[in-house]
Amino acid sequence: MGLRGNRRFYTAAFLLPGMLVYFVFFILPNLLNLVFGFTDWSIYHLTEIRFNGLDNFKMMLDETILVDSIWHTFYFTIVTVVAGNVLGFLLGVVMNAKLKLQNFYRSAFFYSHDAQLRRRRADF
């Protein structure tokens, strides 16, 4: 076997474990969820799998808990993104503004980051 054959073997040998884990823990569960989403399968009757189309999804959208949780997630995302951007912009303006206490603001802001790093280092 030449050098090219060895390279292919080692490439496959290094890729196989990662690809196997990816398939078992990502691809296979997603495919099974897709199949089970369109069937009337029950854990109590393992051999009875009936195709029911979009009925599961219609039933899911009729639940108020799902609609409420989607709304809460959307609301939380919008509020946190807007608040984070506004707060970050205001902090940037304060850091670059010509103020009497500019050095104090900068040191107070960066000290909080430094303190977090020191705490994380102390944990290890």
Tens digits of per-residue pLDDT, 58-100?
998 888 999 999 999 999 999 999 999 999 899 888 888 887 8
Residue 101 has pLDDT above 60, yes or no: yes
Single-letter code of the amino acid located at 43: I
* 101 belongs to a structural domain: yes
Task: Name the domain count of the chain.
Answer: 2
- Domain of 85 in residue numbering reads as 63-124
Single-letter code of the amino acid located at 103: N
Please report which confidence band the pLDDT of residue 4 belongs to, taking 50, 70 and 90 as the band edges: low
What average pLDDT does the segment 113-123 reach?
A: 73
Q: Are residues 48 and 67 in the same domain?
A: no
| Other residues' Cβ atoms within 10 Å of the Cβ of residue 41 | 19
Q: Are residues 88 and 36 in the same domain?
A: no
* Percent over 70 (pLDDT), the chain: 94
CB proximity list for 54: less than 8 A, separation 6 or greater: 38
* 18 belongs to a structural domain: yes
Q: Are residues 98 and 48 in the same domain?
A: no
Residue with the two structure tokens 């691809």: 27
Q: Are residues 79 and 37 in the same domain?
A: no
* 58 belongs to a structural domain: no
What is the per-residue pLDDT for 80? 96
| Other residues' Cβ atoms within 10 Å of the Cβ of residue 67 | 12
Q: Are residues 39 and 73 in the same domain?
A: no
